Amino acid sequence: MNGTTPIHRAPDDPMARQALALAGVFQAASVVDDLARNGQADERAWGTLIRATIDTNPESFEAIYGGHPNYLRQGLDTLEAVLGRKQANPAVLRYGFSLLMLMNKLRTNDAMLETVGQRLQRIQSQARHFDDPTHESVIAGLGELYQETLSTFKYRIVVQGDPARLQERMMPERVRATLLSGVRFALLWHQQGGRRWKLVFQRGALRRAVDRLERS
């Protein structure tokens, strides 16, 4: 990151950590929709997702998302819609919940998990070589990884948007890399105790956690 945003210490509250991880999932969903419909997305939001995906061994929880909740601002805004506070974009919600479904399939497939982990380490080395985690070759590697692993499940995410945009150079790779990042945050959400039923039965606690993060 460029260091313009101060480092923020993630709260020890498990619900706040779940909210941050879930924000990452829905940020990926929102960015995918932006790319598919407009051919572009907020660069900071997208870069945060890609860096989180490549960093397979972060030094802290905060390091995963860049050190401050502002790096997940687009996701936190989308999470407000998930919690019923704002108008929801149906496509973004569909992508988000589909990413959670894919995560559940991945985490029970040990062979695929190992494959994903090994290939991410190679892609991480590639990013260091180019000194740029968003270099085209890195994004192509992430997109190929998604296509050869997660997209082989019977349950697939169908991305809808402007056909001309989706056929632009590097756009399929960018979309797939972003979907992979959403699954990465979904795994983080699960590791922090996140479960689908909590989105219904602990909605109030999640809302309060989001409020605290937005005041950070």
The answer to whether residue 188 scores a pLDDT higher than 50 is yes
Highest mean pLDDT among 4-13, 55-64, 122-131: 122-131
Q: Which pLDDT belongs to residue 9?
A: 54
**Average pLDDT for residues 119-133, to the nearest whole number?**
95
Q: Which pLDDT belongs to residue 215?
A: 82
- The mean predicted confidence, pLDDT, of the chain is 92
Q: How confident is the model at residue 1 (pLDDT cuts 50, 70, 90)?
A: very low
Tell me, yes or no, whether 8 lies in a domain: no
The answer to whether residue 119 scores a pLDDT higher than 80 is yes
**Average pLDDT for residues 70-89, to the nearest whole number?**
91
Tell me, yes or no, whether 156 lies in a domain: yes
- The number of domains in the chain is 1
CA quadruple 56, 48, 92, 14: dihedral sign:
positive
Tell me, yes or no, whether 4 lies in a domain: no
Q: Which pLDDT belongs to residue 190?
A: 97
Tell me, yes or no, whether 140 lies in a domain: yes
Q: How confident is the model at residue 10 (pLDDT cuts 50, 70, 90)?
A: low
| The residue count for the chain | 216
d(CA 198, CA 60): 25
Tell me, yes or no, whether 2 lies in a domain: no
Q: CA distances (Å), 125 to each of 1, 48, 67, in order? A: 18, 18, 22
Q: How confident is the model at residue 91 (pLDDT cuts 50, 70, 90)?
A: very high
Tell me, yes or no, whether 40 lies in a domain: yes
> What pTM, to 2 d.p., does this model score?
0.94
Does 85 or 178 have the greater pLDDT score? 178
**Average pLDDT for residues 1-26, to the nearest whole number?**
74
Nearest 5°: CA angle at 199, between 50 and 155? 60
The answer to whether residue 3 scores a pLDDT higher than 90 is no
Tell me, yes or no, whether 3 lies in a domain: no
Q: What is the pLDDT of residues 17-59, one digit of tens each?
A: 999 999 999 999 999 999 999 999 999 999 999 999 999 889 9
Tell me, yes or no, whether 170 lies in a domain: yes
* Closest alpha carbon to 214 in 87, 91, 93, 86: 86
Q: Residue 30 sits in which domain range?
A: 14-214
Q: CA distances (Å), 41 to each of 98, 135, 150, 161, 199, in order? A: 20, 16, 23, 13, 27
The answer to whether residue 78 scores a pLDDT higher than 50 is yes
CATH number at residue 198: 1.10.3890.10
